[in-house]
Chains A and B, each alone.
Chain A
């Protein structure tokens, strides 16, 4: 073998054609990927801009606080907006405790065994079930079997089960972030498992749990398919300005379904109203989401351990 190839330092550091090609490809790919990535930012801005531009003529406080009029061809969003709030709040009351405690179980109680694996798999699959199948489940289980009829309660329960994985996932993250030594210190003082969870684990992860809960709100507010047949109704007039206008055992309107209705089922809707509905829905969801993100970023900056 001939090992006498002499390379002067100068030659070693000058660029060969291969290096040049390498660098060119690198540059091209970098730009290409940057373009691809920024093309995903574009639709978000474009969509919000487009909706806002089209909705501008109708947007006002009055739009939010008056009922739809003339067979939903005119008027505002009060009944659907309040309905969405009802659905979200009731579903949150159900899914938040179950979701948080399910995560507590998975993270604090469950051992590493096949049963825990199946539970985790169930959470993943629950998240993957199509929304329309949740709707069928809601009809079969809550509307018919449990006899709730088409009501806010039935729709909220359907939404709650659908959004459960969101809360479980983010609560698990939050609980995992609490150092094991915190728990061990508490156990060593003679505290029981629940006392440890109640006094140490939950208080230290409450903000992380909160981000998950907020995320659930945003998911629940935007869903249409699961509530279509379980409790949301095309049209229902309620007293304007009365926050308690709905009864939980009755049907309600919802923003998402209202958008679907006026954009596909109702002819001659006043120009701008569907866009206004869409922008109110998007703004609600995005604001709630932004709150969750802000909370998370804030938490990261002031972590104590």
Chain B
């Protein structure tokens, strides 16, 4: 077949060669775009990153005063802590629900219910982040004020719940794939030995699918780290090292979204926002890469 193909590409008409070139170009476009994203974000922030920004201060100081007149400070530590703390809180809420639902859908329920549930999960995933932010601003805000007697409901808890709801669909669908990838012979062998369904899940499936489940959690976390509008609207938006779920925080993403509109192109503050972008890109890139390697690892087994 290879010979055939080679022969047929040798004397192709021009239009055919052109379209093949176009297809190849589209094929590598994703690579170009990923590099392009890094390049262009880097390009805007590079000047200040290599010439002027105290990187140590950027990563460790909590003083974020980019608009101060005589004492400009670019310490993003509180923002980094904000991003990670709200992500961890979201994962604490989303992981039990996500994995539990994935187990139920793939092992316990009837095929009909499974289809319905998957559609619902898909619809849940489709709700735009700005709507989640709006729900956080209105419904969840009042709920937290009433339940926790907090003065303001726009807190890390609020943002965490919103992020949890947004990342649960990803966790469910990837975890379900991972459980499905476990061969049926494993289940049959365990059941033949007299194990109940739950014992099969607990003793056989979870250990066998643990890499895939880990990937599901990682991708859910990556989604939470990168989420912008929901945390911008729901977390109170004040630079602050959180002391508990009811404290206000601000994340890396929210900072860019809130301040990019107010800076002049090319000044230090503008460039710092792009440097935050580089940081975010790097974090999510690494998390995604790890998740991908974990998934690849399973497939090779």
Binding site for B on A (CB under 8 A): 22-23, 25-26, 29-30, 32-34, 36-37, 39-41, 43-44, 47, 50-51, 54, 97-99, 101-102, 104-106, 109-110, 118-119, 121-126, 128-137, 139-141, 144-145, 161, 164-165, 168, 184, 187, 190, 192-195, 218-219, 221-225, 228-229, 256-257, 259-260, 263-264, 274-275, 278, 281-282, 285-286, 289-290, 293
B29 CB within 8 Å of chain A: yes
Beyond A37-B100, A224-B128, is A106–B34 a contact (Cβ under 8 Å)? no
Can you name 12 A-B residue pairings with CB atoms under 8 Å? A33-B101, A102-B29, A122-B33, A128-B222, A130-B226, A136-B274, A224-B129, A225-B229, A260-B229, A260-B233, A263-B134, A286-B123
Cβ–Cβ < 8 Å partners of A278 in chain B: 131, 134
CA distance A241 to B66 in the complex (A): 44
- Interface digits, B19-53 against A, CB 8 Å rule (1 contact, 0 not)? 11011101111110110110011011000000000
Q: Which of B72-80, B113-121, B180-188 contacts A (4 or more CB under 8 A)?
A: B113-121
Main secondary structure of the interface of B (DSSP, over half): helix
What residues of A have a CB within 8 angstroms of the CB of B127 in the complex? 44, 47, 222, 282, 285-286
Asked if B261 and A229 sit within 8 Å, CB to CB, the answer is: yes
User: Majority SS of interface residues in chain A?
Assistant: helix
A106 with B120, Cβ < 8 A, contacts A36-B96, A37-B104 known = no
Whether B130 is near chain A, meaning CB under 8 Å from some CB there, is yes
Kindly supply a per-residue 1/0 record for chain B positions 170-186, scoring 1 wherever the CB is within 8 Å of any chain A CB and 0 otherwise: 00100000000000000
B222 contact set on A, CB distance < 8 A: 128
What is the chain B residue whose CB lies nearest that of A121? Answer: B292
Sample of 16 more A-B contacts, CB < 8 Å, known A22-B196, A136-B277, A274-B138: A33-B104, A54-B138, A102-B29, A104-B27, A119-B31, A122-B31, A128-B219, A128-B223, A135-B256, A136-B274, A164-B30, A194-B19, A219-B126, A259-B130, A264-B137, A281-B130
Interface assignment of B139: CB less than 8 Å from any CB of chain A: yes
B105 pairs with A37, CB closer than 8 A: yes
Chain B residues in 8 Å Cβ range of A131: 129, 226-228
Task: Give residues in B with beta carbon < 8 Å to A.
Answer: 1, 4-5, 8-9, 12, 16, 19-20, 22-24, 26-31, 33-34, 36-37, 40-41, 43-44, 96-97, 100-101, 103-105, 108-109, 117, 119-124, 126-131, 133-135, 137-139, 165, 168, 172, 196-199, 201, 219, 222-223, 225-229, 233, 253, 256-257, 260-261, 265, 273-274, 277, 280-281, 284-285, 287-289, 292
Shortest distance from the beta carbon of B39 to any chain A beta carbon, whole Å: 8
Select from chain B the residue with minimum beta-carbon distance to A277. B134
Q: In the bound complex, what is the Cα–Cα distance between A5 and B139 (angstroms)? A: 66
